[in-house]
Amino acid sequence: MFEGSATVVSSDDETLVVLARAGDQVAREELFRRHWDRSYRLAKRLLGREEDALDAVQDGFLKALNHLERFDGRCEFSTWLCRIVQNAALDLGRNRSRRTNVGLKVVTANGEEPEKLDDPSVGLVNDDLRMELDAALARLSPSLRSAFVLFAESELSYKEIAEIQGVPVGTVMSRIHAARQKLQSYLSRRSDL
């Protein structure tokens, strides 16, 4: 897709970062091509909506590629980029949910949230497992959702997730466990999982 030179394509991320910092456009393109898919999957899992995910990936890459001098090499470039895309996605999710969901939280008489989301479109596609999974993920707190997605979708190590979230490895494992319990509990009520 790109017209990158063979040298650039075969280089590791750190070399590409050095070249990109010096203004090498092919190196920038190669960094994008190499990390695009993982960044997209991360954002899509965190946000659910396709348009939001693409916006978050765009924001994340813009921040990363325009501030490459801030990458200090203490972690993998992919980890550094994951953190930026994750933050972009969470920021975007916060802003959009704040815009659309203000005053729409519904609770039952006993104070619990109803199982079905308020969005009618969710009810129309109740059999769609992907939508169910997205809805279940959306119910998690940002820290739990992010920890689980970084673990299950981005396939980062506990240590890398701990670096991204700024918490100890033990906390990461607790978050993954808690997230999985909530997800499986929610989905077991919604389907035969």
Partner 1 sequence: MRCGEAKRELSVSRGERSAELGAHLAHCESCAAWAESCERFDALWDATRPVATDQAFASVWNRVTSAGSSRPARAAWLRFAPRVLAGTAAIAAAALFFVFVAFHSDRPVGVGGFADSHQARPEIVRLVLLEEGQTPIIDLEKHEVTRVNSDDDDSLAVNLDEPKLSSIDNLVLFNAFEAMAQ
Chain residues binding partner 1 by CB under 8 A are 1, 29, 32, 36-37, 40-41, 44-45, 50, 53-54, 57-58, 61-62, 65-66, 129-130, 133, 151-153, 155, 158, 173-174, 176-177, 180-181, 183-184, 187-188, 193
Residues 6+ apart with CB under 8 A from 94: 142
The pair of structure tokens assigned to 138 is 């959306």
The residue (of 15 and 174) whose beta carbon lies closer to partner 1 is 174
CB of 109: closest distance to partner 1 in angstroms?
Answer: 30
The residue (of 11 and 148) whose beta carbon lies closer to partner 1 is 148
CB 2 within 8 A of CB 26: yes
Q: Where are the beta strands (DSSP E) in 33-137?
A: none
Q: Dmax over Cα atoms in the chain, in whole Å?
A: 65
The residue (of 90 and 183) whose beta carbon lies closer to partner 1 is 183
CB of 115: closest distance to partner 1 in angstroms?
Answer: 18
CB 40 within 8 A of CB 53: yes
CB of 138: closest distance to partner 1 in angstroms?
Answer: 14
Phi, psi of 140 (to 5 degrees): -80, 155
The residue (of 99 and 130) whose beta carbon lies closer to partner 1 is 130
